[in-house]
Amino acid sequence: MPVKVAVNGYGTIGKRIASAILKNSDFHLVGVAKYTPDYKTIIAAKQGIRIFVPRDEAEAFKSLGIEPEGYVDYLFEEAELIYDASPGGQGAKNKELYIKYRKPAVFQGGEDPSVAEISYSTLCNYSSTLGKRYIRVVSCNTTGLLRILCSLGVANIRRVFATIIRRASDPGEDMKGPVNSIRVDSTRIPSHHGLDVKTVIGNVDVETVAVAVPTTLMHMHVIEVMLKNTPCASIEELRKQGRGRIVTVSSTLADSTGKLLEIARDIGRPRNDVYENIVFTNMFSCREDRLVLIQAVHQEAIVIPENIDVAYGIMNIETDVYKVVDKVNSLLGIGQLHVM
Protein backbone atom coordinates (compact mmCIF):
# COMPACT_ATOMS: atom_id res chain seq x y z
CA MET A 1 0.00 0.00 0.00
CA PRO A 2 1.28 3.50 -0.78
CA VAL A 3 2.44 5.60 2.16
CA LYS A 4 -0.10 8.27 3.12
CA VAL A 5 1.55 11.69 2.97
CA ALA A 6 0.47 15.11 4.23
CA VAL A 7 2.08 18.41 3.24
CA ASN A 8 1.86 21.11 5.90
CA GLY A 9 2.15 24.37 3.97
CA TYR A 10 1.64 25.05 0.27
CA GLY A 11 4.19 27.68 -0.68
CA THR A 12 7.24 27.48 -2.96
CA ILE A 13 8.45 24.12 -1.63
CA GLY A 14 5.19 22.64 -0.37
CA LYS A 15 3.40 22.83 -3.70
CA ARG A 16 6.34 21.21 -5.47
CA ILE A 17 6.52 18.38 -2.95
CA ALA A 18 2.79 17.82 -3.37
CA SER A 19 3.13 17.69 -7.17
CA ALA A 20 5.98 15.17 -6.94
CA ILE A 21 4.05 12.97 -4.52
CA LEU A 22 1.06 12.96 -6.89
CA LYS A 23 3.30 11.43 -9.58
CA ASN A 24 4.66 8.68 -7.33
CA SER A 25 2.78 5.39 -6.95
CA ASP A 26 4.77 4.56 -3.79
CA PHE A 27 3.04 7.44 -1.97
CA HIS A 28 -0.47 8.84 -1.69
CA LEU A 29 -1.13 12.53 -1.06
CA VAL A 30 -3.80 12.71 1.64
CA GLY A 31 -3.95 16.48 1.35
CA VAL A 32 -2.30 19.78 2.15
CA ALA A 33 -2.69 22.13 5.10
CA LYS A 34 -3.44 25.72 4.09
CA TYR A 35 -3.64 28.58 6.55
CA THR A 36 -4.43 31.52 4.27
CA PRO A 37 -7.18 31.57 1.61
CA ASP A 38 -5.44 32.78 -1.57
CA TYR A 39 -4.95 32.05 -5.25
CA LYS A 40 -2.71 29.07 -4.44
CA THR A 41 -5.62 27.48 -2.59
CA ILE A 42 -7.95 27.95 -5.54
CA ILE A 43 -5.46 26.38 -7.95
CA ALA A 44 -4.77 23.44 -5.63
CA ALA A 45 -8.50 22.77 -5.20
CA LYS A 46 -9.06 22.87 -8.97
CA GLN A 47 -6.29 20.28 -9.34
CA GLY A 48 -8.23 17.97 -7.02
CA ILE A 49 -5.91 18.37 -4.02
CA ARG A 50 -7.71 18.02 -0.71
CA ILE A 51 -7.44 21.17 1.41
CA PHE A 52 -7.36 21.08 5.22
CA VAL A 53 -7.59 24.30 7.22
CA PRO A 54 -7.51 25.60 10.80
CA ARG A 55 -10.88 25.52 12.55
CA ASP A 56 -11.02 29.29 12.96
CA GLU A 57 -10.29 29.91 9.27
CA ALA A 58 -12.84 27.56 7.72
CA GLU A 59 -15.39 30.29 6.94
CA ALA A 60 -12.75 32.43 5.23
CA PHE A 61 -11.98 29.56 2.85
CA LYS A 62 -15.68 28.93 2.22
CA SER A 63 -16.15 32.59 1.32
CA LEU A 64 -13.54 32.03 -1.42
CA GLY A 65 -15.67 29.18 -2.78
CA ILE A 66 -13.50 26.43 -1.31
CA GLU A 67 -15.10 23.76 0.83
CA PRO A 68 -12.35 22.35 3.07
CA GLU A 69 -12.01 18.60 3.37
CA GLY A 70 -11.55 19.01 7.10
CA TYR A 71 -9.37 20.56 9.76
CA VAL A 72 -5.59 20.41 9.92
CA ASP A 73 -5.58 17.93 12.80
CA TYR A 74 -7.70 15.54 10.71
CA LEU A 75 -4.98 15.63 8.04
CA PHE A 76 -2.26 14.80 10.54
CA GLU A 77 -4.29 11.93 11.97
CA GLU A 78 -4.81 10.39 8.53
CA ALA A 79 -1.22 10.72 7.28
CA GLU A 80 1.67 8.33 7.90
CA LEU A 81 4.36 10.87 6.96
CA ILE A 82 4.22 14.66 7.22
CA TYR A 83 6.24 17.14 5.18
CA ASP A 84 6.61 20.42 7.02
CA ALA A 85 6.82 23.13 4.37
CA SER A 86 5.84 26.02 6.62
CA PRO A 87 7.77 29.32 6.86
CA GLY A 88 11.19 29.08 8.52
CA GLY A 89 10.96 28.75 12.29
CA GLN A 90 7.34 27.56 12.28
CA GLY A 91 8.39 23.95 11.79
CA ALA A 92 9.91 23.76 15.26
CA LYS A 93 6.54 24.79 16.70
CA ASN A 94 4.70 22.33 14.48
CA LYS A 95 6.92 19.50 15.68
CA GLU A 96 4.99 19.40 18.94
CA LEU A 97 1.91 18.38 16.95
CA TYR A 98 3.78 15.70 15.02
CA ILE A 99 5.04 14.24 18.29
CA LYS A 100 1.48 14.36 19.67
CA TYR A 101 0.15 12.42 16.68
CA ARG A 102 3.22 10.13 16.66
CA LYS A 103 3.99 10.87 13.02
CA PRO A 104 7.44 11.09 11.39
CA ALA A 105 8.18 14.38 9.68
CA VAL A 106 10.50 15.94 7.12
CA PHE A 107 11.51 19.56 7.74
CA GLN A 108 13.03 22.13 5.39
CA GLY A 109 16.31 24.05 5.47
CA GLY A 110 14.78 27.19 6.93
CA GLU A 111 14.54 25.41 10.27
CA ASP A 112 17.34 25.26 12.81
CA PRO A 113 19.21 21.93 12.60
CA SER A 114 18.11 21.12 16.16
CA VAL A 115 14.56 20.50 14.92
CA ALA A 116 15.60 17.10 13.55
CA GLU A 117 17.73 14.08 14.36
CA ILE A 118 19.85 14.68 11.26
CA SER A 119 20.33 17.21 8.48
CA TYR A 120 20.19 15.50 5.13
CA SER A 121 21.43 15.47 1.54
CA THR A 122 21.00 12.29 -0.51
CA LEU A 123 24.46 11.91 -2.06
CA CYS A 124 26.05 12.45 1.36
CA ASN A 125 24.12 10.59 4.06
CA TYR A 126 21.10 8.66 2.77
CA SER A 127 21.88 5.64 4.96
CA SER A 128 21.59 7.84 8.06
CA THR A 129 17.86 8.29 7.42
CA LEU A 130 17.03 4.68 8.22
CA GLY A 131 15.33 4.41 11.57
CA LYS A 132 14.97 8.17 12.03
CA ARG A 133 11.66 9.97 12.62
CA TYR A 134 12.59 13.63 12.20
CA ILE A 135 14.84 14.70 9.31
CA ARG A 136 15.74 18.13 7.96
CA VAL A 137 16.44 18.51 4.24
CA VAL A 138 18.99 21.31 3.99
CA SER A 139 18.39 24.53 2.06
CA CYS A 140 18.77 25.17 -1.66
CA ASN A 141 22.26 26.68 -1.45
CA THR A 142 23.47 24.00 0.96
CA THR A 143 22.04 21.27 -1.26
CA GLY A 144 23.87 22.75 -4.25
CA LEU A 145 27.17 22.80 -2.36
CA LEU A 146 26.78 19.33 -0.86
CA ARG A 147 26.00 17.64 -4.17
CA ILE A 148 29.34 18.87 -5.48
CA LEU A 149 31.35 18.05 -2.36
CA CYS A 150 29.90 14.59 -1.84
CA SER A 151 30.32 13.76 -5.53
CA LEU A 152 34.00 14.65 -5.17
CA GLY A 153 34.27 12.55 -2.00
CA VAL A 154 34.38 14.25 1.39
CA ALA A 155 37.42 12.24 2.47
CA ASN A 156 39.38 13.78 -0.42
CA ILE A 157 38.63 17.39 0.50
CA ARG A 158 41.16 19.56 2.32
CA ARG A 159 39.49 22.96 2.09
CA VAL A 160 36.50 24.63 0.43
CA PHE A 161 35.78 28.29 -0.25
CA ALA A 162 32.56 29.35 -1.94
CA THR A 163 31.04 32.70 -2.86
CA ILE A 164 27.26 32.52 -3.02
CA ILE A 165 25.52 35.08 -5.20
CA ARG A 166 21.94 34.53 -4.22
CA ARG A 167 18.64 35.72 -5.57
CA ALA A 168 16.81 38.36 -3.57
CA SER A 169 13.50 36.49 -3.37
CA ASP A 170 11.33 33.92 -5.06
CA PRO A 171 9.19 35.25 -7.95
CA GLY A 172 6.00 35.53 -5.88
CA GLU A 173 7.67 37.28 -2.95
CA ASP A 174 7.43 40.83 -4.26
CA MET A 175 7.64 42.30 -0.77
CA LYS A 176 11.32 41.31 -0.44
CA GLY A 177 14.55 42.82 -1.74
CA PRO A 178 17.06 44.17 -2.49
CA VAL A 179 15.53 45.90 -5.51
CA ASN A 180 18.38 48.07 -6.76
CA SER A 181 21.53 47.15 -4.87
CA ILE A 182 23.85 44.28 -3.93
CA ARG A 183 23.54 43.43 -0.26
CA VAL A 184 26.09 41.64 1.90
CA ASP A 185 24.04 38.66 3.01
CA SER A 186 26.09 37.39 5.94
CA THR A 187 27.49 39.05 9.02
CA ARG A 188 30.49 36.74 9.33
CA ILE A 189 32.74 34.25 7.58
CA PRO A 190 31.66 31.54 7.08
CA SER A 191 28.08 32.47 6.26
CA HIS A 192 25.38 30.16 7.58
CA HIS A 193 25.62 28.12 4.38
CA GLY A 194 29.08 26.82 5.30
CA LEU A 195 27.95 26.03 8.82
CA ASP A 196 24.96 24.16 7.41
CA VAL A 197 27.19 22.08 5.14
CA LYS A 198 28.99 20.86 8.27
CA THR A 199 25.73 19.63 9.82
CA VAL A 200 25.73 16.97 7.09
CA ILE A 201 29.39 16.13 6.41
CA GLY A 202 31.06 17.01 9.69
CA ASN A 203 33.99 19.26 10.45
CA VAL A 204 35.33 19.79 6.93
CA ASP A 205 37.14 23.10 6.40
CA VAL A 206 34.40 25.02 4.58
CA GLU A 207 34.23 28.80 4.33
CA THR A 208 31.45 30.64 2.54
CA VAL A 209 30.45 34.23 1.91
CA ALA A 210 27.15 35.40 0.45
CA VAL A 211 25.70 38.44 -1.28
CA ALA A 212 22.12 39.01 -2.41
CA VAL A 213 21.41 40.53 -5.81
CA PRO A 214 18.18 41.96 -7.31
CA THR A 215 16.87 38.93 -9.21
CA THR A 216 14.40 36.10 -8.61
CA LEU A 217 16.02 33.74 -11.12
CA MET A 218 18.33 31.26 -9.36
CA HIS A 219 21.56 31.50 -7.37
CA MET A 220 25.15 31.34 -8.62
CA HIS A 221 28.09 29.75 -6.75
CA VAL A 222 31.80 30.24 -7.34
CA ILE A 223 33.49 27.29 -5.61
CA GLU A 224 37.14 26.52 -4.94
CA VAL A 225 37.98 23.04 -3.61
CA MET A 226 41.49 22.08 -2.47
CA LEU A 227 41.96 18.32 -2.44
CA LYS A 228 44.19 16.09 -0.33
CA ASN A 229 47.21 15.01 -2.38
CA THR A 230 45.05 13.75 -5.21
CA PRO A 231 44.40 15.00 -8.74
CA CYS A 232 41.14 16.89 -8.97
CA ALA A 233 38.18 15.27 -10.71
CA SER A 234 37.40 15.87 -14.36
CA ILE A 235 34.04 17.36 -15.18
CA GLU A 236 32.98 14.00 -16.62
CA GLU A 237 33.81 12.24 -13.34
CA LEU A 238 31.90 14.88 -11.39
CA ARG A 239 28.84 14.38 -13.57
CA LYS A 240 29.06 10.62 -13.19
CA GLN A 241 29.31 10.76 -9.40
CA GLY A 242 26.45 13.24 -9.31
CA ARG A 243 24.09 10.52 -10.55
CA GLY A 244 22.32 12.81 -13.04
CA ARG A 245 21.85 15.62 -10.53
CA ILE A 246 24.85 17.55 -11.82
CA VAL A 247 24.45 18.76 -15.40
CA THR A 248 26.99 20.63 -17.49
CA VAL A 249 26.26 23.53 -19.84
CA SER A 250 28.64 25.80 -21.72
CA SER A 251 28.17 29.47 -20.92
CA THR A 252 28.84 30.18 -24.59
CA LEU A 253 25.39 28.65 -25.20
CA ALA A 254 23.56 29.68 -22.02
CA ASP A 255 25.32 32.39 -20.05
CA SER A 256 22.56 33.51 -17.68
CA THR A 257 20.05 32.12 -15.22
CA GLY A 258 17.26 33.47 -17.39
CA LYS A 259 18.43 31.33 -20.30
CA LEU A 260 18.71 28.26 -18.07
CA LEU A 261 15.10 28.68 -16.97
CA GLU A 262 14.13 29.16 -20.60
CA ILE A 263 15.71 25.76 -21.36
CA ALA A 264 13.66 24.21 -18.55
CA ARG A 265 10.54 25.84 -19.97
CA ASP A 266 11.29 24.61 -23.48
CA ILE A 267 11.75 20.98 -22.42
CA GLY A 268 8.41 21.13 -20.60
CA ARG A 269 9.50 21.21 -16.98
CA PRO A 270 6.58 22.09 -14.68
CA ARG A 271 6.98 25.61 -13.25
CA ASN A 272 10.26 25.88 -15.28
CA ASP A 273 11.93 23.83 -12.54
CA VAL A 274 15.62 22.97 -12.68
CA TYR A 275 16.25 20.15 -10.19
CA GLU A 276 19.92 19.78 -11.13
CA ASN A 277 23.11 21.70 -10.34
CA ILE A 278 24.13 23.44 -13.56
CA VAL A 279 27.93 23.51 -13.83
CA PHE A 280 29.41 25.61 -16.64
CA THR A 281 31.84 23.47 -18.64
CA ASN A 282 34.03 26.38 -19.76
CA MET A 283 34.19 27.76 -16.20
CA PHE A 284 35.64 24.58 -14.74
CA SER A 285 39.35 24.67 -13.86
CA CYS A 286 41.13 21.50 -12.75
CA ARG A 287 44.83 21.92 -11.86
CA GLU A 288 46.58 19.35 -9.71
CA ASP A 289 44.83 19.48 -6.33
CA ARG A 290 42.80 22.67 -6.99
CA LEU A 291 39.34 22.67 -8.51
CA VAL A 292 37.40 25.85 -9.33
CA LEU A 293 33.92 25.90 -10.83
CA ILE A 294 30.87 28.07 -11.29
CA GLN A 295 27.40 26.61 -10.95
CA ALA A 296 23.78 27.77 -11.02
CA VAL A 297 21.20 26.59 -8.49
CA HIS A 298 17.43 26.93 -8.90
CA GLN A 299 16.28 27.84 -5.42
CA GLU A 300 12.64 26.83 -5.97
CA ALA A 301 13.31 23.31 -7.18
CA ILE A 302 16.72 21.91 -6.28
CA VAL A 303 15.64 20.42 -2.92
CA ILE A 304 12.61 18.58 -4.34
CA PRO A 305 14.50 15.38 -5.36
CA GLU A 306 16.05 15.15 -1.88
CA ASN A 307 12.63 15.62 -0.30
CA ILE A 308 11.27 12.64 -2.21
CA ASP A 309 14.41 10.53 -1.70
CA VAL A 310 14.24 10.95 2.06
CA ALA A 311 10.75 9.44 2.27
CA TYR A 312 12.12 6.09 1.09
CA GLY A 313 14.59 6.11 3.97
CA ILE A 314 12.48 7.47 6.79
CA MET A 315 9.68 5.01 5.95
CA ASN A 316 12.17 2.11 5.55
CA ILE A 317 11.05 1.37 1.99
CA GLU A 318 14.49 1.13 0.33
CA THR A 319 18.03 0.90 1.71
CA ASP A 320 19.89 1.26 -1.61
CA VAL A 321 20.52 4.95 -2.26
CA TYR A 322 21.24 4.40 -5.94
CA LYS A 323 17.91 2.66 -6.52
CA VAL A 324 16.19 5.57 -4.82
CA VAL A 325 18.07 8.20 -6.84
CA ASP A 326 17.36 6.42 -10.12
CA LYS A 327 13.66 6.09 -9.28
CA VAL A 328 13.24 9.74 -8.26
CA ASN A 329 15.30 10.96 -11.21
CA SER A 330 12.96 9.06 -13.53
CA LEU A 331 9.92 10.41 -11.72
CA LEU A 332 11.01 14.04 -12.10
CA GLY A 333 12.57 13.74 -15.55
CA ILE A 334 16.07 14.41 -14.25
CA GLY A 335 18.46 13.71 -17.11
CA GLN A 336 16.41 15.51 -19.77
CA LEU A 337 18.72 18.52 -19.57
CA HIS A 338 21.30 17.29 -22.03
CA VAL A 339 24.98 18.21 -21.88
CA MET A 340 25.78 21.28 -23.99
Three-class HEC string of 190-207: CCHHHHHHHHHHCCCCEE
Q: What dihedral do alpha carbons 244, 250, 251, 257 form, nearest 10°?
A: -20
Return the domain boundaries, the chain: 3-138+303-332, 140-297
- Rounded to an integer, the average pLDDT of 113-119 is 98
- Rounded to an integer, the average pLDDT of 120-128 is 98
DSSP string, 30-47: EEEE-SS-SHHHHHHHHT
> Domain 140-297, CATH 3.30.360.10 — does that match?
yes
Active site residues: 140
Tens-place pLDDT, residues 193-212: 999 999 999 999 999 999 99
Tens-place pLDDT, residues 279-336: 999 999 999 899 999 999 999 999 999 999 999 999 999 999 999 999 999 999 998 7
pLDDT confidence tier of residue 338, bands split at 50, 70 and 90: low
Residue 151 confidence (pLDDT): 97
272: left (phi over 0), alpha (psi -120 to 50) or beta: left
Tens-place pLDDT, residues 226-273: 999 888 889 999 999 999 999 999 999 999 999 999 999 999 999 999
CB 232 within 8 A of CB 290: yes
In the sheet that holds 183-184, the strands lie side by side as: 183-184, 206-213, 157-167, 219-227, 290-297, 277-287, 246-249
Residue 339 reports pLDDT greater than 80: no
Mention every residue, 6+ apart, whose C-beta is less than 8 A from residue 55: 71
Question: What is the share, in percent, of the chain residues with pLDDT greater than 90?
Answer: 95
- Rounded to an integer, the average pLDDT of 162-191 is 94
β-bridge mates for residue 13, sequence order: none
pLDDT confidence tier of residue 5, bands split at 50, 70 and 90: very high
Fold of 3-138+303-332: Rossmann fold (3.40.50)
105-107 and 134-137 strand pairing: parallel
